[in-house]
Structure 1
Amino acid sequence: MSATKQWSITVDIDELEDTTLAHVSLTTPGGQDVTGVGQAQRNPLDPSVPEIGDELAVARALRNLAERLLHTTEKDIEGATGESAHLHR
């Protein structure tokens, strides 16, 4: 059986002076909310290019989200099998 599924991720970006903070979130089809956070700090000697801070903060937030989703998956496997699970990173 094949299936096509689509998950949506929400990305919120806040900028305050030289700091950019990104929050990403998704809700799995099973109803679990998973979030990730990432931050970028501009070196005061570097030129101000907000897009670069956005990219870095979002990349870090997505990496954090991925790690949290892997952890959620491990817990789901443990709940389904009754055995300890550790997924390769």
Structure 2
Amino acid sequence: MSTLVGWHVELEFSEDGHRTSAAAMVRLGDGSELKARGYAMRHPSDPEQLRVGEEIAGARALMDLSSQLLSKAHREIDEATGRHSYPLTH
């Protein structure tokens, strides 16, 4: 029998001139929340494409969340086993 688990992820964007910022938050099944921010800057001579700035800023915020999730998981492994675990890198 399998168990269905879900996480709630939110991304919000704001634009300020040539700068786009993204705020990301994931709510985990254990009740904890992780938050991150990402930014993108548009060169003044580039055409205004809000979607592209959102994609870059959002991706950077999600990369930070990913790193935080890995760190959290390894801390929990270390606490449960009493040994130091090593995240896989690529």
- TM-score for the superposition, normalised by structure 1: 0.93
Provide the rounded CA distance (Å) in 2 between the counterparts of 1:66 and 1:50: 24
Gaps of 5+ in 2: none
Gaps of 5+ in 1: none
Structural mapping, 1:1-80, within 5 Å: 1-80=1-80
Tell me how large the CA RMSD over aligned residues is: 1.0
Q: Give the count of matched residue pairs.
A: 89
Provide the rounded CA distance (Å) in 1 between the counterparts of 2:82 and 2:31: 21
List structure 1 runs of 4+ shifted beyond 3 angstroms. none
Provide the rounded CA distance (Å) in 2 between the counterparts of 1:28 and 1:64: 15
- TM-score for the superposition, normalised by structure 2: 0.92
